Every structure is written in structure tokens, then in C-alpha cells.
Structure 1
Amino acid sequence: MKVKKVLHIVSVSFSLRYFVGNQFHYFKEKGYEFHVACSDSSEFIALSREFGFTPFPVSILRSINPLQDIKSIYSLYRYIRREQFDIVIAHSPKGGLIGILAAYFARVPKRVFFRHGLVFETVTGVKKHLLINIERLIGFCATSIVNVSPSVTRVSDRLHLNASSKNVLLGKGTCNGIDITKFKLRYGYKDTTVITIGFVGRLSKDKGVIDLIDAWKLLCNEYKAIRLMLIGPLDERDPLPEETLLQIYEDLNIDYVGGVKDTSLYYNKMDIFVLPSYREGFPTVTLEAAASGLPVVTTKVTGCIDSIVENVTGIFAKNTADSLYTILKYYIDNQDISQIHGKNGHQFVRDNFSEDFVYKQIEDKIL
């Protein structure tokens, strides 16, 4: 059987573990050969050894830079022509723009774009129109579009980002599923004397961290035996205001961990999980939290709305501090409901978002 050659294109190597991860091992055993194009870094080379792909360093800037972007498209075009890839898969708006255009000019038969989210949802003016039109250009040049959630598909269709016939959805959503074996179902709160609320993600405005900290201050006026655990790096592109950062740094009941390589162990230190985001593609962290037996509080925005079953695995809050306070207080005061929702969430993830299930979808619908 002829080996199928696949090229993945991402803008930053950090995302490879989450966008592709164990797919490299799974499909390599099925006869696929993987290459990855990405901006050069020591992490990129280390990941190539860990996952067994051939690295191709190419500058993919996250911001628009016409001269450099044209150079990167040409460099990728030459690489694609030389290697004769069967499939090119590009991720994120900038990786998609560079990768799908290069694959289009090189006439690759399968050009797949993973729409991981809709950046334009939280911007306005000329920039919003530019980002929407970039999505439309990618959609025109790609042969198929994997929308990572049903809600991303709905917005894509409403804005005519691509022909509906090109849309692909993997099960109920997500791009990669999760390794269910890494997350253990817990029974009951770990410590009924201190309840820990957890958050995992970039510490940014878009993730709703300002609302979360304001809700936290309201909770602290009512409860003394609670803690807030924040996992994730500060986002320099969408920075938090000084007042919010000061609260995070100086509040003795806030455990700011920062960025970590493996988040799976930290969910076992939490009792309630919260993601008050303003936009997502499909939030993997809510699946990880649910797989760990945690009730999930999130918002009814694109992506997040698909990641829980309301009043079964979690509860939706509005993008306000008062709403977050009310829902978090409900879980604190009703530990029996919290435990039921956590158990339901664990089963919901096992049934719909395990890696094996998602990889079979990828094999059937993309490769």
C-alpha cells in the first residue's frame, strides 16, 4: 500500500500537542507519513522527535505582514511541490491563510482547513471585515473545512465563509478529542472544608478572566473556605488590566500556577470548573474538566455552548460577574448536584470525545 504523505501547518508549535497530538502515532501505524510546517523554535524540533514527524521551519507570523507572508507562501509552495503531499491540513486563521494558499497554488488534491475558532467575534471595525474576508479566501481555496463545533458551523454558514458542502464536523465537535485515560473520575469533593474553583486557559479578557475575578471578590464576601486556582499563561496580546492582575498576585486565596505542560493532574485539585469565555472554537479544557468528574460553568458563546449539556453536566452563565457569582454559589451550596453533574460529564466525554472516536471520524471524513 502506498504511503500517504500529510503536511500539517500551524503558526506556533505550542498548538501541535492540542491540535494533532497522538494522531501522529495513531495514523503512522496505519501507513501515513507526517510533515509539519511551523515557525522555527527549539520546542518545534523537540516535538518532531516526540511525535515522529519531519519538521519544516517556515516563518508564520500571527499578525498580517504582506512581504513576509508572501515569502512564506512561496517557501511552502516549493516544499509542497518537492514532497508531493497527498493532503495538506492547515490550522488557525494565519496558518490557514499561508498553508491553504500554498497548497492551492501547488494543486494539492486535498486541502483541509481546521477552523478552530472565529477571532473576528471579539473585534470591530475594519479589522473585523478583514478577518472575515481572510476566512472567506481560505474557505474558497480549501477543499474541505473542519469546523470544530456545531456553533462554529452555524456562524460560518450565516456569514457565508465557505460553501456549506465543504463543511465537516467530527462527531459532536472538537478537533482532536482527549486521551480519556489521563483523566480520572472523582467521587465527592476532595475536601469539604475548602472548595476550589478552577480555571484553565490563557489569562486574557477574551477568556472572561476579568468577570471571573470580579465574581470571585463577591464570593469571598460570603465564603471564607474557598480557593481559586488559575492555570495558564498571561496573554500579552490581550492583556488584563492592572487591577485584575493585582488581585491575582496579592490575594492569598488565589493560587496562580501559570502555564504547565500537562494540565491533567490539576483538575484533581479542583471541585468546580469555570470557563467564562467570550469566544471559543471548541474548548478542550471543559472536556478535560468534565472527564475528571467536575461540574462545568461556562458561557453560551460559540464553542462553549456545545461543550456541556445544560443542567446535566454543567450550567451556563452570562458574561457578567453577577451571573458567574450566582452559578458558582449554586454549586458551592449544592454539593450533591455538583457531584451528579460531574459524573454525568465524565460519561458525556467518554461517549462522544475520546481520541479513538474522534480519530475514526478523521479517518472516515478527512484522510
Structure 2
Amino acid sequence: MKAVLFANTDWYLYNFRRALALALCRAGYDVLLISPPGPYGDKLRAMGLRWEPLPMERRSLNPLREMALLWHLVRLLRRERPMLVHGFTIKCAVYGSLAARLAGVPARVNAVAGMGYVFTSSQMKARLLRPVVRGLLRLALGGRGARLILQNADDVELFQRAGLVEPAHIRLIRGSGVDCGQFAEVSRTASSDGRLRVLLASRLLWDKGVAEYVAAIRQLRAQDRAIHALLAGTPDPGNPAAVPESTIRDWVDEGLVTWLGHVDDMVGLLGSVDVMVLPSYREGLPRTLVEAAACGLPLITTDVPGCREVVSDGIDGLLVPMGDSEALAEAIRRLQDNPEFARALGDAARMKARAQFDERIIIRRTLDVYAELCSPATASAEPAI
């Protein structure tokens, strides 16, 4: 049985879905990974996985280029003749599902981690694209051979209310999974200078709350708080909400943050900090919070969809209002002033990560969705559109 996994970057496939791909291979699937070209394709191949690059530009709005991409996908799927196509993110969900229907692929699974730029941005371009994307989603996600995987209960309610997909075809699977055993082995090092080490690790987008994080650190520094603020990640040039690199370097020059850039060794990084912060505006289910939780770090995040799936306020972390840098600064102060409370939050976060977000749980539930669609009773191909 063949499955195609389709993402908008090879980085995403490598970092978030390689464990799923390897599990599928062990379960007897013939797996093909597809994405735009990038350096992680060779890493996937080095693991024994089959990966193929696509002529896809994430920010493209050129109708001819987009039609060419769709036709490329149709020809690829007709050549490969998979039983199932699994798309990740909204663009891949739309294009992958449309191509699968045109190619007569029996089963389509789509995992949408949050609503993406088109639905979360207030920019004019996003508002103009919204009804178009909404219509394409209805077309792409429909049909008896389709399932939609969402990562949090808020998105489930949103998709149901918008009528984008049949409620019976929605499955809730919280995140892409984390190897909690690997992160539980983190060797935590003490601060050499007594400062509280706070980390924000994410793509450097405005809607990740990067500005609020920097503003909170500025407030804490004005109060002579001993804080070492770390920023890990890079701007995403394919996203209109990317923070300009010049702005990040200004913050570094001001002495507010230490910018680490892209970090491959998250285990080592999380072992070198005391608190994880993510003041995001909305998430599917944030992997960095789960990784930090698996390490036993106390978490501070916003009371928004996705983030509150990971953190219950005062139990395994702290929730603050979205866009409120003062509340974020107060939460950091609270953990700095009460190390025992911070330790208790971290211990509870570790237990929750193991019970709910371990990759073995996520992969097993994903395979259950595949089995729904690929059993002999349901594997007959739908008519091509």
C-alpha cells in the first residue's frame, strides 16, 4: 500500500513528520515524501526515505504557475498510484486533495495545524483571499474518502461552524507528536551567573508574539531584573508576517535578547534554559511547548487556541492574554520569584506531555485514520472531478 505525504517545506517533513514516515514504512507502507526543494530532502533520503522535490512556491499567486503545480501533482499521483495522500498545512491540503481527486486516489487525509496567514491576518491581501480559500477548502476537503485532522478543539468548532467539512469526517489529533523519552533525558545545567534564562523558540513571525516578548524583556530590564532572554529561530521568508532580520539585529544591539538563529539541537538548548515562553496569537498545537514540557520546563503562553491545549493555567504552566506584554512580564517575574512553584509547573508539564503528546500516541491515532479509509470496504476510488 502506498502513501504520499505532502508538505510545503522539506524542513517540515524532516522535523515534524519523519517519525510518521518511518512508522508507515515499518507498517508495510510504500512511502513517498514530496515538498518544494531544500536541504532537508537529502537528510530524509539518508534515513532511507523516498523524497521528491516539487516546483512549488509558497507565496505564489500567479494563476499559471499554480495551475502548473496542480497539473504536476496530478501527473505525479497518476504515475505513483497511491492509496492515500496526506497533506499538511492549508495550501498542501487544497492542492493535494484536488490533485488526488483528479487522479482518482481513493483516500485523502489533511492535517491543518491552525488556520494560517489567510485566516488570521487582518491585511487586505489576506481578507481578499479568504473567500477564495474557503471555497477551495470546501471542494478539496469534501467527499466520503476524505478525513480532516485538526490539532485543537477550537479549530474543530471553527471548521464545523464554517461548514468547511462534514463534522463526521473531522478527527482531533493533538499535534505531530514528540519523542518524550528523548527530551526526558535532558541534562539541565544551572545558570552560571544567577540570571533567569528565558527562551522563545519559533519561526520569527509577528503573530508568534515576538514583539510582546521583547517588550516584556524591556520592562523587566527597566526593573533591574536579572534576566537572560534568548530568541531561537529565523524569519520565514515565505510568510508575510515574518519579522525583518534588521529588526531582530536592532534588538540584539540594544542588548535585549541573544539571538541564536536556527537551532537543530533542541534537546541541548532546552537543557540550558529555565523557562519557555510562547506569546502566540493562535496555534494548531505548538511543538516547542510540548518539547519544553517533556523536559520539565515551566511554560508561559497565551490563552489562545492551540496554546491552551498544552497549558492549563496554574497547573502545568501560566496563561496570559494575547498581546499583553505587561502580563507576560508579570508571569516571568512570578516564576523568577518562586522557583518552587516554577519547578512544580514543570513537573506537571512533563507528566502531561507523556500522557497526551508522545509521538507514539499521535502516530497510532494517525494510522487509525488511515485504516478508516484504506480498509477494503472504503478503499474504492471516488469519481475524479
TM-score (norm 2): 0.87
Distance 1:70 1:351, change over 3 A: same
Q: Where does the alignment leave 5 or more consecutive residues of structure 2 unmatched? A: 372-385
**Is the 2:232–2:261 contact (alpha carbons within 8 Å) kept by the matching residues of 1?**
yes
Structure 2 counterpart of 1:182: 182
In the aligned structure 2, how far is the partner of 1:243 from the partner of 1:222? Answer: 27
Aligned residues: 360
In the aligned structure 1, how far is the partner of 2:306 from the partner of 2:172? Answer: 13
In the aligned structure 2, how far is the partner of 1:134 from the partner of 1:229? Answer: 40
Structure 1 counterpart of 2:264: 261
The offset of 1:51, in angstroms, is: 3.4
The offset of 1:157, in angstroms, is: 1.3
What RMSD over aligned residues (CA atoms) do the two structures have, in Å? 2.1
Q: What is the 5 A alignment of 1:184-223?
A: 184=184, 190-191=190-191, 193-223=194-224
Amino acid across the alignment from 2:75: R
The offset of 1:253, in angstroms, is: 5.4
| Aligned equivalent of 1:131, options 130, 133, 149 | 133
Q: Where does the alignment leave 5 or more consecutive residues of structure 1 unmatched? A: none
Helix, strand or coil for the counterpart of 1:366?
helix
In the aligned structure 2, how far is the partner of 1:155 from the partner of 1:251? Answer: 41
Amino acid across the alignment from 2:120: E
Which shows bigger deviation, 136-145 or 301-310? 136-145
Helix, strand or coil for the counterpart of 1:168?
strand
| Aligned equivalent of 2:46, options 50, 70, 85 | 50
Q: Percent identity?
A: 24
In the aligned structure 2, how far is the partner of 1:134 from the partner of 1:326? Answer: 43
Q: What is the 5 A alignment of 1:38-187?
A: 38-44=35-41, 46-63=42-59, 64-119=61-116, 120-124=119-123, 125-140=127-142, 143-170=146-173, 173-174=174-175, 176-184=176-184
In the aligned structure 2, how far is the partner of 1:37 from the partner of 1:186? Answer: 32
Q: What is the 5 A alignment of 1:32-43?
A: 32-43=29-40
Structure 2 counterpart of 1:327: 331
Distance 1:277 1:134, change over 3 A: farther
**Is the 1:213–1:244 contact (alpha carbons within 8 Å) kept by the matching residues of 2?**
no
Runs of 4+ in structure 1 displaced over 6 angstroms?
185-189
Structure 2 counterpart of 1:290: 293
Distance 1:70 1:243, change over 3 A: closer
**Is the 1:313–1:345 contact (alpha carbons within 8 Å) kept by the matching residues of 2?**
yes
Q: Deviations over 1:147-168 (max 9, x none)?
A: 1222221211122221111101
Structure 2 counterpart of 1:227: 228
Distance 1:25 1:239, change over 3 A: closer
The offset of 1:356, in angstroms, is: 1.3
Helix, strand or coil for the counterpart of 2:82?
coil
Structure 1 counterpart of 2:343: 339
Q: Deviations over 1:121-179 (max 9, x none)?
A: 22353233333333333322661101122222121112222111110112xx11x2001
The offset of 1:338, in angstroms, is: 0.4
The answer to whether 1:352 aligns with 2:356 is yes
